[in-house]
Structure 1
Amino acid sequence: MRTYDNGVPATRIEDAVWTKSRRSNPNGNCVEMAPLPDGGFAVRNSRHPEGPALVYTREEMVAFIGGAKDGDFDAMVTGGQ
């Protein structure tokens, strides 16, 4: 099974199917995710699709998405503490 390291050029992730959030806007201010063969995920900047991809395990993404749903990161985008 092929594995990928953080910083791999996104174009080198073979057979990646990138998904963009429905909350994305036409200005390209979004990230895209693709599942990886090992169960992890790659994340890239949609404005630079050929740029580096960050690679996360399934467990890391579950923790991140859970924290986002719980509001753990809201202050980072609202200017609160």
Structure 2
Amino acid sequence: MALHDYLPAEAFAAATWQKATASQPNQSCVEFTKVGRVIGVRDSKLGAHSAILQFTENEIAAMLSGAKGGEFDHLT
């Protein structure tokens, strides 16, 4: 993603955010949304006040593949 591909925070204002159902007991997790071809990630505890990290579809796919493959299991 080139620098000019990043969206302003306002682009995410009307987005529908989604988090893992496993986070429901404590309501704390990361949330994801997609605006155009950009995937936003934020801290659910902070909601609309959270910084929004922006990734391409390929970047998220690589991260999910690694997570499913156990590459990050040492972090928990």
Does TM, scored on the shorter chain, surpass 0.5? yes
Question: In the alignment, is residue 64 of structure 1 matched against residue 67 of structure 2?
Answer: no
Q: CA deviation at 1:14?
A: 3.6
* Alignment map for 1:1-81 (pairs within 5 Å): 3-4=6-7, 8=9, 12=10, 13-37=12-36, 39-49=37-47, 50-77=49-76
Task: Tell me which stretches of 4 or more aligned residues in structure 1 moved more than 3 Å.
Answer: none
Question: Structure 2: how far apart are the matches of 1:19 and 1:55?
Answer: 15
Structure of higher RCO (CA pairs closer than 8 Å, 6+ residues apart): 1
Deviations 1:46-72 (A, max 9, x none): 000122110000000000000000000
Aligned Cα root-mean-square deviation (Å): 1.8
Identity %: 31
Structure 1 spans left out of the alignment, 5+ residues: none
Aligned to 2:59, the other structure's residue is in SS state helix
